[in-house]
Structure 1
């Protein structure tokens, strides 16, 4: 069985393609959205809503937004051990797979996972590694905007069409321009910002609150800071449907009353809005299109609900965007279609999905100025960004000096004219015949980039015809196969709460979070927690379910008073 997964910065979802179309699977709490949060509780790992509740009550044992660290060697300390981003993502994937298996009644062996279109080679490989650590094959990654287009069924429109998909999630921003014709989805251009999303707009509110109330963020206790972010996230959502949103909360023993209107929020967030314009303009320029040549604009991603996003798109393209598919679910629904295509579901008409290389790939060269001085460190592109993959390009290079003994072909990824500002992926060193002149000691360098994100570099010496080859399967910061095996064994030793206990864990975590927030209700909350733990000890599932329902109602009423 193949499932489609949206592994998001804020929330993650899993689904599959069935006779009635894409179907998303709920988690143990009955919600299709699973928070991408991991928490360590003693020797046990929590994932999802229960972990999210602990962001406030146990901030040093809980982590979120780790998708932004994919492709790096960054480690996060939780409890008595450290986790890499791939491992944290793998724990979320395991939770999603357990939900899918509970719904389908069969083992999941393969997954199609969506990734931001602007994810680098290293980030894509890290996502595959996360799947491997979670116990599934990930042969296919699908770009999030392409998945969104599948969810909208743009391939079913009559005739040809060009579409711009605007995807603003919790942590990343993508824009892709696609063309659909005769069941072919061709991506013409992708651009984006891997560090721009709903979390950054939340940071704007946090900063405004602290400035208005003369608070220093570092001085706020971790628990109170987590509570502030949670309350401001709710306020940010309110701004989508009301002119003014108020906030009242206690910090450091003092009560603060604050409010903000949508107009001021838009003004404070203007620098972020301008950052969104740049990738849009780059994608349009790379695709060589004018706004009038686009048939539709599609908005996806939870953060795209903000009114300032719709205003930006309307101003830039002179029309209202499509938003009739739930923006939180669109990518997962499309990934499920892609999973159905990969499994060759008979109910799906064959669709060909093309992709592009998101970054320029090239090598380092030296240049000689008019005075004969040699200057090194310049980037020479070989495969340009937004080239349709698979793609193969070659160029010729020569040594700078006669009788040169070695020639190093450095492999870089990026858009800067200087290699120092790009990412080095690897190198090949060629031994030259020092008896030859520069024009006799040349090499042909061929870069080949395939649909799975693998880059193959071949260097052929002109004189001897000897070939040198490098397959870039590993990037700096990624785990080696040996490290993956070791981390896989370590993850297998972790205790994960059984799925059937998730509802009980989540309600207790919520009660503990409210205990942190409501200073004057602590005694009552403590009694409720003690009583519910006693009910759990009875192991009477009927009694537990009834008491849990009453517990949730009491917590809802308490929060409604805030």
Structure 2
């Protein structure tokens, strides 16, 4: 049986789920944990992904990659210096420098994300006992077209077919409202994760989920709160030991990891102690951090999280909100909850869902809805999403003329008429933009093309420009001259994508080098699982004459079963490096006796 999975590809942690047996199951990783760090480490001979990579962050900081979600799909990044690993620009965007197998490598963010996705895919295949090819992947609502396409490219490299890209708060709302098919509610989803903040307002009514507005901050989350505490303690360490640890990546990473743990502890306790042995110059460092101090350091950032809430309410005439659903790991911070609740007149927040798993659960539901064998419970559910930013073109005077307004329902097609700017004009440049600023120079260019038109007096030539956006937010723009029927089209997915088809093929090949290590680990994990199952089966066999099993077989058969079981047990003890198939063959042989 083939399954479609839902993936929350997070800045700090990722989560994967599947909808089966009429419910969502969160898929554990090889350690049994329900979330996996979005982290990849490279050393001399191996790659480590997830939990194993986190263990490398302090000892191997320059080759341990994290926070890739903040880099993917971008041509530049203002906070490059905050990462201990090296990020540089290339013709096709940002690349990350690492050392692997004794060689210096330049890796694109898409490849790093692909390695994380591949890990999640492998975990799902082990859990489900079947191949996984299809997935729904979530992204922040504030992700632009380029970032969405880069995420799709990463999934393609990982061997996944993306059935749909959906916004994270929309996925959370789907998870929240799955059992509220008969109610009509205005639901505000507040999604504060490790790197981004998204706020969406949805109407949930009779199984229909309609996104009414969405807003967010693309660079605000748990990692920024960590950094506030790090900066405070860096100053304290400098005063105590006269050491500038900003120049020492290993020491700085040890401190950052300790601050992340302290932040988590402070959600449950009023204070915690950070203790780091031999931090600088052989000196131990110990400091008590109170929740009050942490809240004071981050208060400005905490209050900023209200801005997107105000925006979505303003765009909906300050409508009544029935439920405020809190998701994302950072939404667990008590002060965050206090600030949000206070803004709504001390309204009780809905924290009933696991904030670390809600988005993956919603993605899993959407994946099941899009599958060929959609469960009956999900057939009547519809999901209506919107465009997070306005889309349009540049017109005379470098003015941004909006064709598709923000919050337009997807999928959407809009056609708008234009004319020439001067007499005898033969070429019209169509510059496609996204944003909310009145001037084109203040918005983000997605692509451009040129349409040939016949010479004519000003205003005579009429052209229609059409914008078409699919369910994934991928944009196609076309223009046609209504006089000569000259036609030109640009698919932003293809024209302005992060990677060309050739680059994707090359990166798939490059990923195979790293994947070989993963496959070896996968075979080992499966073999261990099969060995445990065989041992369990051996221990369940009852040889006693008065036992339940023994009463159904003859003494001769009992002796044969006992002899064979002993032989198999001895074989297991002697053969420690055998395949999964061999263990299964032995088990099935015993069952046949």
Answer whether TM exceeds 0.5 for this pair: yes
TM-score grouping bracket, smaller chain normalisation: 0.7 to 0.9
Does 2:480 match 1:460? yes
Check conservation: 1:154, 1:180, Cα contact below 8 A: no
Provide the residue aligned with 1:24 in structure 2.
26
- Shift of residue 209 of structure 1? 1.0
SS, match of residue 175 in structure 1: strand
- Counterpart secondary structure, 2:305: helix
Q: For the residues of structure 1 that align with 2:369 and 2:298, how far apart are their CA atoms?
A: 40
Q: What residue number does 1:230 align with?
A: 257
Verify the 8 A CA contact 2:6 2:360 in the aligned structure 1.
yes
Match of 1:282 in 2: 311
| SS class of match (1:359) | coil
1: distance between equivalents of 2:314 and 2:178?
23
Query: Which whole-Å CA distance do the structure 1 matches of 2:439 and 2:432 have between them?
Result: 13
1:450 aligned residue (450, 467, 470): 470
Runs of 5+ in structure 1 lacking a partner?
367-375, 504-537, 542-562
Q: 1:424 — aligned with what?
A: 445
Match of 2:334 among 299, 302, 307: 307
- Partners of 1:202 and 1:208 lie apart in 2 by 10
Give 3-state SS (helix, strand or coil) of 1:268's partner. helix
Which residue of structure 1 lines up, in the alignment, with residue 376 of structure 2?
346
The 3 A distance-change label for structure 1 pair 234 and 389 is same
What root-mean-square deviation, in Å, do the aligned CA atoms of Structure 1 and Structure 2 show? 2.2
Q: Which runs of 4+ in 1 moved over 6 A?
A: none
Match of 1:206 in 2: 230
Query: 1:192 aligns to what?
Result: 216
- Offset at residue 171 of structure 1 (A): 0.9
Residue 476 of structure 1 deviates from its aligned partner by 4.3
**CA distance, structure 2, for counterparts of residue 229 and residue 102 of structure 1:** 33
Find 2:522's aligned residue among 493, 496, 499. 499
Q: Is the 8 A contact 1:28 1:500 kept in 2?
A: no
1:111-148 Cα distance to aligned partner (Å, 9 max, x none): 11111122111111111111111111102122211211
Question: Can you list the C-alpha shifts for 1:9-66, whole angstroms capped at 9, x where unaligned?
Answer: 1111212111151011111111111111001122422101111110111112111010
| In 2, Cα distance between equivalents of 1:103 and 1:243 | 39
For 1:357 and 1:188, how far apart are their aligned partners in 2?
A: 10
1:473 match: 493
> How much does 1:244 deviate?
2.5
1:429 counterpart SS class: strand
Corresponding position: 1:355 with 2:385: yes
1:9: which partner in 2? 11
Bigger CA drift: 62-71 or 443-452? Answer: 443-452
CA distance in 2, matches of 1:78, 1:30: 29
**Structure-2 residue corresponding to 1:414:** 435
Return the offset for 1:309.
Answer: 1.1
TM (norm. structure 1) is 0.84
Give the aligned partner of residue 373 of structure 1. none
Q: Which residue of structure 2 lines up, in the alignment, with residue 100 of structure 1?
A: 124
Report the TM-score, using the length of structure 2 for normalisation.
0.80
Other structure's SS at 2:394 match: strand
| Pair 1:140 & 2:200 matched | no
1:482–1:294 distance in 2 versus 1, CA, 3 Å:
same
1:500 shift after superposition: 6.4
Question: In structure 2, do the counterparts of structure 1 residues 424 and 467 end up closer, same or farther at CA, with 3 Å as the change threshold?
Answer: same
Alpha carbons 1:29, 1:502 under 8 Å: kept = no
Deviation at 1:160, TM superposition (A): 0.9
> Which residue does 1:441 correspond to in 2?
461
The aligned counterpart of 1:57 is 59
Distance in 2 (CA, whole Å) between partners of 1:450 and 1:129 is 17
Which of 1 and 2 has higher RCO (CA within 8 Å, sep 6+)? 1
Kindly state the Cα deviation for residue 475 of structure 1 after the two structures are TM-superposed: 5.6
Structure 1 residues 303, 70: CA separation in 2 closer, same or farther (over 3 Å shift)?
same
Q: Distance in 2 between matches of 1:86 and 1:98?
A: 18
**Aligned mates of 2:181, 2:460 — CA distance in 1:** 56
Aligned length: 496
Q: SS state of the match for residue 257, structure 1?
A: strand
Change (3 A) 1:10 1:478: same
Residue 524 of structure 1 aligns with which residue?
none
Going from structure 1 to structure 2, the CA distance change for 1:218 and 1:414 (only over 3 Å counts) comes to farther
Residue deviations 1:63-89, cap 9 Å, x none? 101011121321111212222111111
The Cα of 1:242 is off from its aligned counterpart by 2.2
2:364: which partner in 1?
A: 336
Give the match's secondary structure for 1:55: coil
Report the CA distance shift for 1:144/1:217 in structure 2 as closer, same or farther (over 3 A).
Answer: farther
